[in-house]
Amino acid sequence: MADRTSSTITVKAGKAGIMAVIADLEAYPKWASGIREITVEETGPDGRPSRARLTFDGGPFSDTVGLRYTWEDDDRAAWELVEGGSVVTGLHGSYTLDERDGATEVTYELAVDVRIPLIGMVKRKGEKRIIDTALKGLKRHMEN
């Protein structure tokens, strides 16, 4: 899972507020299309989720997976697959926040492996669609 897809968007909000939204996993279905449900199973000492169960509708397929989260203050949130689903066999992702002049650059990186063989270009296109949808949803949620 060496290849990752990434994209960046600028959000007119401070990184602490953005990270609070990112850390509120159970609210994702309200602003991140394709995510049907997230259930937090464990939290860390900082109160942020450390393990969660994610159910998504990803176009031609749906799946439920277990994820482990790590947090670096309000600078970065990362997750990795700890329990594969029926389709997803590998998943690593992160949000990195960089605040500048009253706005924050949010970079989302994602790498997904699935049981179905996919050409690299098709896989990256799917990852790009997931990333862009999530970033636009986050921006809309924060700025409206």
Alpha-carbon span 140 to 134, nearest angstrom: 10
Alpha-carbon span 144 to 138, nearest angstrom: 10
pLDDT band at residue 1 under the 50/70/90 scheme: very low
pLDDT band at residue 109 under the 50/70/90 scheme: very high
pLDDT higher than threshold 60 for residue 113: yes
Model pTM score: 0.88
pLDDT band at residue 115 under the 50/70/90 scheme: confident
Helix axes of 15-23 and 120-143: crossing angle, nearest 10 degrees: 120
Of 15-19, 117-121, 136-140, where does mean pLDDT reach its minimum?
Answer: 117-121
Please give the residue that has the higher pLDDT: either 66 or 1.
66
CATH top-level class for 5-143? Answer: alpha beta
